[in-house]
């Protein structure tokens, strides 16, 4: 079990997606929703960092904490970036929690 804060659940990638991961980017295809999303997404830079941490064990807050610490960046700024990206992923139904 992950050590998630009470009330928050871990983010996990949607079942059935296809993805190819390289050193600094990954390509993600929403196979279960291929009729609506016919082309793959390329995540690099910040989006790649966030996507890499969405592994079913971390909550959104934990991802923010890790990134803020790793990059020594203001937590609020990181939280805003993560929230915006995760909201997009949820809208695309690429992540679930």
Partner 1 sequence: MKGLVTSHHGLRPERVSADADVWVDPEHLDAYLNALSDVGWHEREASRAAHELIEHSVTLIHPEWPCDLDVHQSFPGFLRSREEVFEVLWERREKLEIAGHITAIPDRTSAILITALHAMRSPHQTPRHGAELRGLVRDVIPALSSESQQDLLGLATQLNAVDTARPVLAHVGLDLPAPVAAGSDSALDAWRQRTAGGEGRTTQFVLHIRSTPWRERPREVFRAIWPTEADFRVEHYTVPPGYWHGVAGRLKRIAWGIRQLPGVLRGRRLARQGITDDSLLHEDGER
Q: Give start and end residues of each alpha helix (H) in the chain.
A: 45-53, 60-71, 75-91
Q: C-beta of 31: minimal distance to partner 1 in Å?
A: 8
- For partner 1, the binding residues in 12-41 under the rule CB under 8 A are 17-20, 27, 29, 31, 34-35, 38-40
Tell the residue number behind the tokens 């279960």, with chain if given.
Answer: 32
Sign of CA dihedral 2, 45, 36, 89: positive
Q: C-beta of 21: minimal distance to partner 1 in Å?
A: 9
Residues that bind partner 1 (CB under 8 A): 17-20, 27, 29, 31, 34-35, 38-40
């Amino acid at each position: 079990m992950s050590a998630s804060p009470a009330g928050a659940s871990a983010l996990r990638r949607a079942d059935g997606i296809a993805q190819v991961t390289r050193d600094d980017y990954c390509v993600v295809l929403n196979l279960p929703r291929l009729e609506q999303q016919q082309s793959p997404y390329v995540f690099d830079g910040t989006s790649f960092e966030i996507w890499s941490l969405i592994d079913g064990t971390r909550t959104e807050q934990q991802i923010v904490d890790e990134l803020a610490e790793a990059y020594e960046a203001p937590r609020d700024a990181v939280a805003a970036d993560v929230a915006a990206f995760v909201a997009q992923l949820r809208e695309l139904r690429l992540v679930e929690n």
